[in-house]
Structure 1
Amino acid sequence: MTRRPLVAGNWKMNGLCAALPEIEAMGAAYDDALRDRAELIVCPPATLLALACEVTTRGGLGLGAQDCAVAPRGAHTGDISAEMLKDVGASYVIVGHSERRADHRETDADVHAKAAAALRAGLTPIICVGETRAERDAGDALRVVGAQIESSLPSSAPAHIVVAYEPVWAIGTGLTPTVGDVAEMHAFARERIEARLGGGKSLRIRILYGGSVKPSNARELMHVANVDGALVGGASLTATDFIGVASAYR
């Protein structure tokens, strides 16, 4: 089954208003030939979402957020609901990124609730899973990722959700798994997604790879079996690098 590749840029806690021209440049470089082959979205910090919406719309890019609260509204100072993200033009939201799991002690149950909140609001969740270096060295990578898939994905999730495999030890380190490791994990992830959701949904769900993706390694990684795109960190901060990654699909 053909799945349209997705390349998502996660800006993390980077970017002021002065960075908006980079998104403008991404849209300008997102030509018809590339648009026919891949979907591109940018996930800037929440402070830029409303401003970025107009820019991404002009350039044909999608807009995503980096996190959402579980509740739709209420006395939750500092939180941003999925409904609020939808209201300012976002169509995607990242949930369960390893930095949220580590820095904010988010559990699989938290990620599950946030994914459900995103779906409630009409957003597509990008649900992140991945193992640490210690877990991989101990031979536990498949077990850990399988457990995260089982507990983080809502059992009634539709086939348009996105799953992103990001080995924690490869994020921002310049290290990447071997092609064989990526192929093994993505094939395993698709099997576990099918076991969780059933109905052949896994054949339609896009599984992204993330972890030190850059223009120099994107072509090799993006053409591994069961890899349907990338969740890009540092290389998504500039139009040159982000389009360089996406151009693996040209």
Structure 2
Amino acid sequence: MRKVIIAGNWKMFKTRAETLEFLQGFLPQLDTTPDDRDIVLCAPFTDLGTLSRNLHGSRIQIGAQNVHWAESGAFTGEISALMLVEVGVRYVVIGHSERRQFFGETDETVNLRLKAAQKAGLIPILCVGESKQQRDAGETEAIIFKQLEHDLIDVDQEHLIIAYEPIWAIGTGDTCASAEANRVIGLIRSKLSNPDMTIQYGGSVKPDNINEIMAQSEIDGALVGGASLDPQDFAKLVNYKV
């Protein structure tokens, strides 16, 4: 059975003090959140310990935003899967377009990170998606299928989440039409060995479009950027109604 997961990606936002302030505003609003959905907060590395200490016994799972493929080594600025597990992390975002665009992430390194995360018991959230130029050129399907083909080599599809994030809709205010997102996610699902995998949509998800997004037949959740930074907005997202 496909699981619904609403995940917030805080990117490079929030100090530890701001994290505590967020939790104070957010946690009380989960009393009426339906049990049919999971909630994940993917925070900067410095916030993970704060989340772990303050979310014990809550329904919120903790996610990181990257992981290295080695268990240890001379990789300045990186973090291992075992380090994440030690502080209570359960999920990790891998292959986000910002990592691919700004930090040289490739399908090869994405694949290595996926396998390392799973080896340690983490559940990766693999991000795939096309640029505006690629979409305008009619290359959406080809780009995404290529990413899946290379990223998923020897990856366990039973312990994986995929997030379809059209790059042109991330942080731009432009949301991919719900029906189109549903179509692309359906195509992604057709390429998987596990058709019950949770597949999220990400890209300018907001309180005023979450209901329509989650009403789509192929969409199992959302990977949320900017709207996850505000406790009131994120509460509206996790409490969506269909």
TM superposition score normalised by structure 1: 0.92
Deviations 1:188-237 (A, max 9, x none): 000112xxxx3xx222x100000000100000011111100000000001
The alpha carbon displacement at 1:158 in A equals 3.6
Alignment of 1:39-50 (within 5 A): 39-50=38-49
Alignment of 1:112-191 (within 5 A): 112-191=111-190
| Moved beyond 3 Å, runs of 4+ | none
Name stretches of at least 5 consecutive residues in structure 1 with no aligned partner.
Answer: none
Give percent identity, aligned residues only.
Answer: 39
Alignment of 1:157-236 (within 5 A): 157-193=156-192, 198=193, 201-203=194-196, 205-236=197-228
Deviations 1:97-130 (A, max 9, x none): 0000000111111111101010011100000000
C-alpha contact 1:66 1:93 (8 A) present in aligned 2 = yes
Amino acid paired to 2:195: S
Structure 1 equivalent of residue 56 of structure 2: 57
Structure 2 equivalent of residue 83 of structure 1: 82
Supply the RMSD in Å over aligned alpha carbons: 1.3
The alpha carbon displacement at 1:58 in A equals 4.2
C-alpha contact 1:215 1:241 (8 A) present in aligned 2 = yes
TM superposition score normalised by structure 2: 0.95
Amino acid paired to 2:17: A
1:28 maps onto 2:28 in alignment: yes
C-alpha contact 2:34 2:239 (8 A) present in aligned 1 = no
2: CA distance, partners of 1:237 / 1:156: 31
C-alpha contact 2:10 2:229 (8 A) present in aligned 1 = yes
2: CA distance, partners of 1:57 / 1:249: 27
Amino acid paired to 1:91: R
Bigger shift: residues 151-160 or 39-48: 151-160
Bigger shift: residues 69-78 or 227-236: 69-78
2: CA distance, partners of 1:150 / 1:25: 41
Bigger shift: residues 148-157 or 218-227: 148-157
Deviations 1:107-158 (A, max 9, x none): 1111111010100111000000000000000000011011111111243414
Number of matched residues? 241
Which of the pair is proportionally richer in helix?
1
